[in-house]
Amino acid sequence: MQNRRDFLQKIALVTGGSLFLPNVLSANISVGEDLSNTFKYVIENGKVFSEGQIKSVFVGITQDNKIKISETALSAPKTIDAKGKVVSPGFIDILADNAGSPETTYRIFEKYKLADGATTVLQMHGGAAYPKSFHQKFDPLPHYVNFGVGVFVMILRLRFGNVAQRMQYTEKGLEEGALGVCHSIEYQPTPYDELLGYAKLAKKYDRPYFLHLRYSAQDTELEGVKEAIKLSQESGARVHIDHLHSTGGTFNMPKALELIQNANNIGGAQITTCVYPYSYWATYLISRRFDPGWQQRFGLTYKDLTIVGTGEKLNESTFNVYRNRAGLLVAVPEGTMDMSKTIDLALQTDFCMIGSDGGIESEPRANNHPRGAGCFATAVRHGLDIGMSIEKVLSKVTTLPAQLMRGKPMDERGDIANGKMADIVIFDPKTINGKASVANPNQFSEGISEVFVNGNLVYQDQKILGSNGKPIRF
């Protein structure tokens, strides 16, 4: 960052001394106007991802934290030289998870999201049973990132045995501003008619219905995909399938994608999905995934399971001991999911985006999947490495998530365009990558130089500078 030279001197260098400026300046900027009072920051010399394209433009952040773009130089008290870097909308995590003890862990959780370039972090694979209470508690607190929740159906089902009550409180959550309905039917099997009731509520309020599918075994996983499609068709709801590569398309990804594409194109459904860019999954040892027969379902053995954050390998004896310990996360080996046959195929579609399905909840070493700290930098790196264009890669972490979560205030995010909120990430496309690992998930991502949240520079060169996150609710 450097102090700005006088604006007219800057313009003289760009325009050859002409006293007349071209009309490419934004409509609200007068010719010859001293813009140092208009903008807090200017970002120059970067490749800007704006409206689906990479552009060589100047990006100004106004005093009211909005974006102005211009093909002609802008002036501000502070300038960031983004030469050799990409200037992107802030990454949007639709599938974050901080369900454990958010009151005591949320700052750790948000810190690692911010360092991974995520400026908006939405908990749609869980969320809150009572969204109004959640926001009353968390909105007054300082936040590194923008945050929001969906209605956590699993908790409501544990608390209320009556389906009518479950529906009542789900609708109450939507009325109170929840971003959608969230349910995980592999972990909590639920009758179809009840699922359809939640889908109809999502449709009524035009919110997405996030669904962790019913099956993850090879011979049944496609039945879960078909069930999600049927729910969308019969309710009219927008159904989002959580992490398709680990639940629904692990063994049959081409067919799963074909089913979704056909349903969207000619079947009257509205289906989206997400993946996270890792070849292994992790989940709680106490979960139903490890019910008897898990070795045969997944082709794994005890020694294939590793406790995240410690590196301890399990055996039959320790498996049986830890199986009764709530909240213990284990990871399967790298390569368990063939990325070329799963994730890479899904990323080629226009209905698949990135979602972390994770979050870091403790320090110095968390028992959380590394995707909680490195999902987005890893996704950008992986997409570029397999030959995807930077535009397509960035759409998966900005535009598509914003479109899925449409409605104010999300309509202000997900793009670098005039009037949008200044949530911005600047990164080096040559070095961006996640560093988090199973042995040590608590690591900031590489290659991300600056992050702006709501117009404030809050992260720079591996250091957190401040908090400026805002609540996201309808």
- Whether residues 72 and 199 share a domain: the answer is no
- Whether residues 272 and 372 share a domain: the answer is yes
- Whether residues 242 and 288 share a domain: the answer is no
- Whether residues 353 and 329 share a domain: the answer is no
Q: What is residue 36's predicted lDDT score, i.e. its pLDDT?
A: 53
Pairing, β 58-62 against β 118-128: unpaired
Q: Which of 49, 110, 120, 48 shows the shortest CA–CA distance to 354?
A: 120
- Whether residues 140 and 182 share a domain: the answer is yes
Q: What is residue 193's predicted lDDT score, i.e. its pLDDT?
A: 98
Distances (CA, A) of 164 to 95, 120, 151, 167, 235: 27, 33, 16, 5, 18
Measured between alpha carbons, how far is 157 from 340 in angstroms, rounded to an integer?
37
Domain boundary, last residue among 23, 50, 84: 84
- Whether residues 116 and 64 share a domain: the answer is no
Domain boundary, last residue among 412, 437, 453: 412
Does residue 419 sit within a domain? no
- Whether residues 259 and 344 share a domain: the answer is yes
| pTM, to two decimals | 0.90
Does residue 239 sit within a domain? yes
Domain of 238: which CATH number?
3.20.20.140
- State the greatest distance between any 2 C-alpha atoms of the chain, in Å, as a whole number: 80
pLDDT tens track for 361-398? 999 999 999 999 999 999 999 999 999 999 999 999 99
Pairing, β 78-81 against β 39-44: parallel
Does residue 418 sit within a domain? no
Residue stretches of the chain with pLDDT short of 50:
1-34
- Whether residues 200 and 264 share a domain: the answer is yes
- Whether residues 259 and 397 share a domain: the answer is yes
Write out the E strands in 276-430.
Answer: 282-284, 306-307, 329-331, 352-354, 424-427
Distances (CA, A) of 58 to 12, 23, 169, 455: 16, 14, 47, 15
Number of domains in the chain: 3
Q: Which of 220, 229, 166 shows the shortest CA–CA distance to 194?
A: 166
**What's the distance, Cα to Cα, between the start and end of the chain in Å?**
36
- Whether residues 347 and 316 share a domain: the answer is no
Domain boundary, last residue among 336, 369, 384: 336
Does residue 428 sit within a domain? no
Q: What is residue 11's predicted lDDT score, i.e. its pLDDT?
A: 27
Q: What is residue 8's predicted lDDT score, i.e. its pLDDT?
A: 26
Q: What is residue 101's predicted lDDT score, i.e. its pLDDT?
A: 86
Instruction: Please report the sign of the dihedral spanned by the C-alpha atoms of residue 102, residue 118, residue 113, residue 210.
Output: positive
Q: CB–CB of 95/124 below 8 Å?
A: yes
Domain that residue 55 falls in: 2-84
Place of tokens 């040559």: 430
- Whether residues 112 and 124 share a domain: the answer is yes
Q: What is residue 100's predicted lDDT score, i.e. its pLDDT?
A: 76
Does residue 466 sit within a domain? no
Does residue 426 sit within a domain? no
Place of tokens 């607190």: 141
Contacts made by residues 57-63, CB under 8 angstroms, sequence distance 24+: 59/87, 59/416, 59/424, 60/35, 61/422, 61/424, 61/452, 61/455, 62/38, 62/422, 62/455, 63/37, 63/38, 63/39
Does residue 266 sit within a domain? yes
- Whether residues 166 and 307 share a domain: the answer is no
Measured between alpha carbons, how far is 50 from 399 in angstroms, rounded to an integer?
10
pLDDT tens track for 291-317? 999 999 889 999 999 999 998 999 999
Does residue 11 sit within a domain? yes
Q: Which of 447, 443, 442 shows the shortest CA–CA distance to 431?
A: 447
Element (H, E) at 136: helix 131-138
Q: Is 158 left (phi over 0), alpha (psi -120 to 50) or beta?
A: alpha
Q: What is residue 403's predicted lDDT score, i.e. its pLDDT?
A: 97
